Structure 1
Amino acid sequence: MRSLSLFFIITSCCFSFSQNKQLLFGFSDIPQSLMVNPGGEVKNDWYFGIPLLSHIHTNVGISGSTVYDIFADDGVDFNTKLRNAIRGMSHRDFFSANQQLEIFSGGFAFGDRFQKNEYVSFGLYQELDFIAYFPKDFAMLALNGNGIGVPFRANQLSVRAEAISVLHLGYNKKVNDKFSFGVRGKIYSSIANIDFTNNKGSFVTVRGQNNFYDHIFNLDLEGRTSGLASLGDDDSEGSNSVVKDLRKRVLLGGNLGLGFDIGVSHQLNEQLHVEASLLDVGFISHKKDVENYKIEGDYVFEGVNPLFPETDIGQTAEQYWDEIEQDLEDLFTVDTTTSKYTTWRPVKFNASLNYSFGQKEYESCNCSKEDNAYLNKAGLQLYAISRPKQPQMALTAYYYRRLFEGLQVKTTYTIDSYSAYNIGLGMYTNLGGLNFYVMADNFLQLQNIYDAQSVSLQIGFNYIFNKKDED
């Protein structure tokens, strides 16, 4: 039973999804690149995304021990591998998930007839974000039991999850040939939220006076939720009612919030280019369907009476265990409230510097083409995201190549929380206005996906009307 408990803890805290879109950032041929930098370069007059197919993004990764570390057929006992995996992880290892589905999107350029230097983009997407840190102390508690004087810290119990929809409107302005900026306003609609990140206190076992041991709890635990209580209510319409409620929340019927993105793009000289963005600076106010839970105070539990049961007074075993259960319930009083609360979105930062080289030349005159003169780009990108315990960061080196007019590729090498050797590849193709892109990470570890530190996939379909190059 203990092995099963440990297995659940280790597996539920290993898999992680990342919000880093290093393959998409700066890939200006793809309209969705404006979602990671609203001030980036725009290469189309207008576009519309194929509904529900224009952008599908999901990542999976592992912080700490992998599934392969536990299940590898290497002759080592399962319990030994499980113990080694837990001991090798820290309380800063995490399980996180991020998934996005674009419901609809579009954009168009405007301005004077000869120079359309302004661009508006818009859309609606659904996002799931989840993070849970590995509770090292409590995993060791399950592994070894509660040793005398060993504290188990409650702040390691840290979980945050939310499902939202985002309605957005972006504006991009090309000021001149060297500089452009952009801003995007967002309306968030929370579908469901769980926030269990403000926990404090500890639990420790000492030698007792009235019993062998005293278990001392100093706790300040708080869990906040919205959008969940009503889903569990009995309803005559059953699942149909739940689906209607969720659909309503996606269409701005949930707890609402506001946010914005900003971004810039600057051509330092003919070949050096920098861009940066700050995303999801915003909040959500949770007022509807709120249910919060709090345990606060100092508690002492003197443990189980070793005289089991008190048969001399006619006490049965069932009555004995009922008494213990009641003692625990009386000890830990859960205060339930419906007070409103506010959550902040995880802010993301991107910045890159790239160098363009390899000019395209006409065969007839050995002269370079004015527009899109360089076929290659190489550079570095820095990414960071705010998280409950500490920011997570990633550094990416990348190479972009325009193979020909309808096919571009980008390859990346990323160092992040999961791995120091993540190689990714993205491809964009445009056939008669129909655009398709596919991007994936960590090709080196796909040969054994159970031992992979991270795997990522992005795909999408758009219809694009591109700007015509002037000869």
Structure 2
Amino acid sequence: MRNLTMVLVLITWFSFGQNKQILYGFSEIPQALLLNPGGQIKNSGFIGVPLLSQIHANAGTSGMTVYDVFADNGIDFNVKLRKAIYNSKARDFATINEQIDIFSGGFAFGSLFEKNEYLSFGLYQEFDFIGYFPKDYAVLALEGNQNNINRVFDASHLSVSAEVISVFHVGYNKKVNEQFTYGVRGKIYSNIVNVNSTKNTGSFVTVQGNNNMYSHIFNLDLELRTSGLSSIRNSNSDAVFKDIKKRLLLGGDLGLGFDVGFTYQIDKQWYVDASLLDVGFISHKKDIENYSVKGTYEFEGINPFFSELETGQTADDYWSKIEDEFSDIFDADTTYNKFTTWRPVKLNASLNYAFGKKKEKTCNCIKEKKEFQNAVGTQLYAINRPKQPQAALTLYYYRRLFKGLSAKTTYTIDAYSFNNIGFGVSANLGPLNFYIMADNFLQYKNIYDAQSVSLQLGFNYILKKNED
């Protein structure tokens, strides 16, 4: 029974950050503005292909992988299970992030001679999940409490958050001069579903009892908050579809946020940029259902008095009494109080060096207006999470292969691994722009042992390219 419980925990854990290090700074792609509203722009307008302009999926685990537990390597499952649990830490986490553009677009405007301002807009749907490994819960489920007398199990190891939202956004970008560009983006968030339990505290301990062999002491302050879940759970499929569509189109609980960013050209070849994303909140007022267990409880079990007489206590009576006692102890209070969730703020910053101007074939000379064909740099990424911020450091190399085709390769160090190599390409076929990106190629030979995987692709119609 314990092993079955742990398998269910691990399946949930492996259901598989939001770091888009390949897309960041890839200015040929319009969606790069979502990562830095003050980034460089190389088109005078675009229209994203509906539902296809950006498809992003990212999943990862900083601790054990599926392969660690379920590998067919001749080692007993119980041995692998124990090793995986004992080697894990309570701060290990699993993440999933998915994002799809519903629609998007942008266009340049300004004076007649210099269109140095740019307006972009769109609506996208996003799913974000993070769950920390509940180490003490896993050990208790695996070993039970008989071998852990006087050990205090930490209830705060349970920490999980999941949400589905839609985001309507409008961004403004201005090129002040040849050195400095800045941008801002306003956002309206619409909640579809939110489930979070991130502020749990308390403990559980088994000690020698006075009236029975053992006494089990619970000191708990646990809470699960939900928004938008109850009506979906209790409705038929047609009603659920209509409700989700309404929330997707800004009909759910609303919130506000903003992004800000800039690019500064130090000289002809060196430049820096940075952005701060999703500074905002969502106020949850509709379809609320919260559950909490708070208080100190002591349980010493039920003394059985078995008898062969018909009036004696049966085994069924004994277990029914235990069930009633635990139901009283863990009877969760249900409340309908509104709550506010803060968006996971993200930071991007990079230092870049461009080099290698293209020579003219006719005169073996270089025109000053030609762009550099190569760039190298380093990018820092950080995101605020419930227990602690997560960070990543990326080194990259960018190359314009020829007109209409560019590529970027990255090497990233993060909480998932130290050998994440990624690659992305952007191609223009006439006015149609297509891009595709993926990372962690070294782990694709055994995807079940991969710490993280990421994929991005999209199609855009470029109204006019400002390319050489």
**Equivalence for 1:384:** 382
Where do 5+ consecutive residues of structure 1 fail to align? Answer: none
CA 1:308 to 1:52, structure 2 compared with 1: closer, same or farther past 3 Å?
A: farther
Alpha-carbon distance between aligned partners in 1 of 2:89 and 2:382, rounded to the nearest angstrom:
21
Structure 1 residue 312: Cα displacement: 6.0
Aligned to 2:13: 13
Shift of 1:370: 3.1
Which whole-Å CA distance do the structure 1 matches of 2:466 and 2:259 have between them? 29
Would you say the 8 A contact 1:371–1:469 is kept in 2? no
Paired amino acid for 1:353: L
AA of the residue aligned to 1:5: T
Deviation at 1:82, TM superposition (A): 1.1
Q: What is the match of residue 292 of structure 2?
A: 294
1:359, distance to aligned residue in structure 2 (A)? 1.1
1:310 Cα deviation after fit: 8.9
List per-residue Cα deviations over 1:208-237 (Å, max 9, x = no partner): 01010000011111111110111222x5xx
Deviation at 1:6, TM superposition (A): 1.7
Distance across 2 between alignment mates of 1:461 and 1:311: 79
Rate the CA distance shift 1:329–1:170 in 2: closer, same or farther, 3 A: same
The 5 A counterparts of 1:115-264 are 115-146=114-145, 147-233=148-234, 235=235, 238-264=236-262
- Between 1:6-15 and 1:352-361, the stretch displaced more is 6-15
Distance 1:309 1:432 in 2: 88
Residues 1:32 and 2:18 are matched in the alignment:
no
Q: Report if the CA contact (8 A) 1:434-1:462 is conserved.
A: yes
**In structure 2, what is the equivalent of residue 280 of structure 1?**
278
Structure 1 residue identity aligned to 2:345: V
| Corresponding residue for residue 351 of structure 1 | 349
Q: For structure 1, which segment, 296-305 or 361-370, has the greater mean C-alpha deviation from structure 2 after superposition?
A: 361-370
SS across alignment from 1:448:
helix
Give the conservation status (yes or no) of the 8 Å contact 1:309–1:315: yes
Secondary structure of 2:136's aligned partner: helix
1:137-160 Cα shifts (integer Å, max 9, x gaps):
111111221111111111111111
Whichever residue aligns with residue 13 of structure 1, its letter is: W
In 2, the alpha carbon distance for the partners of 1:309 and 1:383 equals 68
2 CA distance for matches of 1:56 and 1:303? 54
Name 1:109's counterpart in structure 2: 108
Note closer, same or farther for the CA distance 1:212–1:352 as it changes in structure 2 (3 Å cut).
same
Residues 337-376 of structure 1: pairs in structure 2 closer than 5 A = 337-376=335-374
Shift of 1:335: 1.6
Residue 4 of structure 2 corresponds to 4
The question of whether the paired residues in 1 share the 8 Å contact of 2:47 and 2:463 is answered with no
The CA RMSD over aligned residues, in Å, is 1.5
Q: Specify the SS of the correspondent of 1:137.
A: helix
Q: Distance in 1 between matches of 2:252 and 2:105?
A: 24
Task: Give the superposition deviation at 1:323.
Answer: 1.8
CA distance in 2, matches of 1:71, 1:232: 32
Alpha-carbon distance in 1 for matches of 2:199, 2:308: 42
Taking the aligned partners of 1:450 and 1:20, their CA distance within structure 2 comes to 21
Contact 1:418/1:454, CA 8 A, preserved across alignment: yes
Q: Which residue does 2:71 correspond to in 1?
A: 72
Does the C-alpha gap of structure 1 residues 311 and 86 become closer, same or farther in structure 2, counting only changes over 3 Å? farther
Q: CA deviation at 1:369?
A: 2.8
Hey, what's the Cα distance between the residues in 2 that align with 1:24 and 1:344?
A: 25
Is this contact kept in 2: 1:12–1:95, CA < 8 A?
Answer: no
| Cα deviation 1:25-52 (Å, max 9, x = unaligned) | 0000000000000000011111000000
Relative to structure 2, which stretch is displaced further, 407-416 or 362-371?
A: 362-371
Q: In structure 1, how many angstroms separate the alpha carbons of the residues matched to 2:450 and 2:335?
A: 42
Give the paired residue count.
466
* Structure 1: distance between partners of 2:435 and 2:305: 70
Query: Scaled by the length of structure 1, what TM-score is found?
Result: 0.96
SS state at 1:4 partner: helix
Residues 181 and 264, structure 2, Cα contact 8 Å, conserved in 1:
yes
TM-score (normalizing by structure 2) = 0.97
The question of 1:456 aligning with 2:467 is answered: no
SS of residue matched to 1:68: helix
Counterpart CA distance in 1 for 2:61 and 2:330 is 35
Q: Is the 8 A contact 1:15 1:61 kept in 2?
A: no
Give the whole-Å Cα distance in 1 for the aligned partners of 2:285 and 2:308.
50
Partner of 2:323: 325
| Aligned partners of 1:278 and 1:349 also within 8 Å | yes
Give the 3 Å change call, closer, same or farther, for CA 309–363 of structure 1 in structure 2: farther
Q: Which residue of 1 aligns with 2:42?
A: 43
Take 1:57 and 1:318, find their aligned partners in 2: how far apart are those partners?
Answer: 53
Match of 2:81 in 1: 82
Question: Does the 8 Å contact 1:350/1:382 carry over to 2?
Answer: yes
Question: Aligned-pair distance for 1:365?
Answer: 2.4
Q: Is the 8 A contact 1:15 1:62 kept in 2?
A: no
User: In structure 2, what is the Cα distance between the partners aligned to 1:271 and 1:337?
Assistant: 59
Q: Given that residues 305 and 312 in structure 2 are in contact (C-alpha distance below 8 angstroms), is that contact kept between their aligned partners in structure 1? A: no
Inter-partner Cα distance in structure 2 for 1:368 and 1:338: 68
Q: CA offsets per residue over residues 179-199 of structure 1, 9 Å max, x none?
A: 100000000000011111111
Task: Report the 3-state secondary structure (helix = DSSP H, G, I; strand = E; otherwise coil) of the residue aligned with 1:326.
Answer: helix
Q: Could you tell me how far 1:72 is from its partner in structure 2?
A: 2.2
Q: After superposition, what is the alpha-carbon deviation per residue over 1:58-99, rounded to whole angstroms, capped at 9, x for unaligned?
A: 012222121112222222111111111111110001122110
Which range is displaced more, 54-63 or 425-434? 54-63
**Partner SS state of residue 150, structure 1:** coil
CA drift of 1:304 comes to 4.2
Q: CA deviation at 1:346?
A: 0.4
> Aligned pair 1:62/2:61, yes or no?
yes
* Preserved CA contact (<8 Å) 1:65 1:85: yes
